Structure 1
Amino acid sequence: MYRPQEDSYLLANALADAGGTEDSHVLDFCTGTGFLAVNAAMMGAASVTAFDIAPRAVLTARMNAWTRRLPIRAHRGGLDAVLRHGPFDVVLSNPPYVPCDGEDRDPRWDAGADGRGVLDPLCDSLPALLTPGGFALIVHSEFTGVETTLRRLRDADLKASVVARRRIPFGPVLRSRADYLYASHLAEPGSTTEEVVVVRADRPHPGR
């Protein structure tokens, strides 16, 4: 289960800057502890639907919602299941995005050789997940390819931009994968910090 860290707080702040979620139907994909789902509900969301593939994460998100009496429903499942519950006014996601070589892979944060194993399917699904006029906020590392995310979203006829950035030191996970990042030319040899970004994607109203 992925516990809230710097990227989680960066995304929560970006949501507050976007005006919150008042009266919106919200999806928190890859919810972990339910941190973002709780934030969205406390900002006035009409409903929050949270998804994660890890049973422990789903249970934790449910408990965090129950103890706060918040309108959150947490389910176990991936994108196929999510698509059966949409569309949503707001989509939030802190997905696994750490590039890895496949050895000792941890599904809480590892996402394939380029870190895009979850991001690419999510970007491709957003037109179906968002209501017209809805928006998504997705957080990930510079090592995962910010321009690739922007291009993929724009190719799906969404408006896309970076709305928040923060440079942070490598944590234990990236330190353990630093040699792979250097060898794959995803990070400069010897670098010990990464830039984490929040990308916003908007689905325009028809005809706009």
Structure 2
Amino acid sequence: MSSVLGADRTTSADALVFAPGVYAPQSDTFLLADALEREPLGPGAEVLDVGTGTGVLALAAARRGARVTAVDRSWRAVAATRLNAARAGQRVRVLHGDLLAPAAGRRFDLIVCNPPYVPAPRAGVPRHGAAVAWDAGHDGRAVLDRICDGAAGLLHPSGALLLVHSALSGVRATLDRLRGAGLDAAVMERRVVPFGPVLRSRADWLERRGLVAPGEEKEELVVVRAERV
């Protein structure tokens, strides 16, 4: 078990303050945390956590001595992350805003992002409600493509993006898009996990779309690492 969330991952998660409607740490969070732990971060490295939620990844980077900026479009997430950073005794700059926009004009050594990526029956991205944290249009790429297109402009040379999402959203599309933006991209982590409540509730729709096989009950999560060369 990774130590990035502390000696006991469950205990560390339980120590967090959660806000209603804010995405709580799940399998994708932990997979990205494992990738973050293996990333070489020198003292004072500049890290951007996009869609920080409760601040788990931001705190993991801060504990390693990084200078961390965390962003979320939810004011509740901003408040939860600020409170969790204070409780942990870690300095994290938490900004309210949409994806990469609050960090415009800055450069980072590492960007970590767990964006909404679940294919959904409705087009576009919801503006309100809990689904804001996971629904991302018919193909699940309404947010992923924006991250892929914009990350390179916020990275120092040799800086990297760590991006987690479901294979249902198109791994090849992510790699192609990042490479098209001038980044050297590859899958560095894979993990198969059972469907959660959201995917179980739309399994029939996913099957009709040809995204899952009949009776499928698991999905593959991937972490893509993309470096500015």
Q: Calculate the TM-score normalised by the size of structure 1.
A: 0.93
CA distance in 2, matches of 1:184, 1:29: 29
**1:60 aligned to which of 80, 84, 87:** 80
CA distance in 1, matches of 2:158, 2:65: 18
Describe the superposition over 1:13-56 as per-residue Cα deviations: whole angstroms up to 9, x where unpaired.
Answer: 111112246421100001110011011111221x1111111111
Tell me if structure 1 keeps the 8 A contact 2:185–2:227: yes
**Counterpart in the other structure of 2:195:** 170
SS in 2 for 1:90: strand
- In structure 2, give the amino acid aligned to 1:174: L
Alignment of 1:27-106 (within 5 A): 27-45=48-66, 47-79=67-99, 81-84=101-104, 86-102=106-122, 106=131
- In structure 1, give the amino acid aligned to 2:82: R
CA distance in 2, matches of 1:90, 1:64: 21
Q: 1:80 to 1:30 in 2, by over 3 A?
A: closer
Deviates more, 1:167-176 or 1:20-29: 20-29
Q: Percent identity?
A: 49
SS in 1 for 2:30: helix
CA distance in 1, matches of 2:75, 2:146: 21
Q: Does 1:24 align with 2:49?
A: no
**Counterpart in the other structure of 1:160:** 185
Q: CA RMSD in A?
A: 1.6
Alignment of 1:190-205 (within 5 A): 190-204=215-229
Tell me if structure 2 keeps the 8 A contact 1:83–1:128: no
Structure 1 runs of 4+ aligned residues shifted over 4 Å read none
Unaligned 5+ runs, structure 1: none
Tell me if structure 2 keeps the 8 A contact 1:25–1:88: yes
Report the alpha carbon displacement of residue 189 of structure 1 after superposing the two structures with TM. Answer: 2.1
Unaligned 5+ runs, structure 2: 1-21
- In structure 1, give the amino acid aligned to 2:140: G
CA distance in 1, matches of 2:179, 2:118: 23
CA distance in 2, matches of 1:5, 1:79: 20
Q: 1:188 to 1:20 in 2, by over 3 A?
A: farther
Describe the superposition over 1:112-167 as per-residue Cα deviations: whole angstroms up to 9, x where unpaired.
Answer: 11111111011000111111110010000010000100000011110000000100
- In structure 1, give the amino acid aligned to 2:62: A
CA distance in 1, matches of 2:70, 2:184: 24
**Counterpart in the other structure of 1:140:** 165
- In structure 2, give the amino acid aligned to 1:131: H
- In structure 2, give the amino acid aligned to 1:16: E
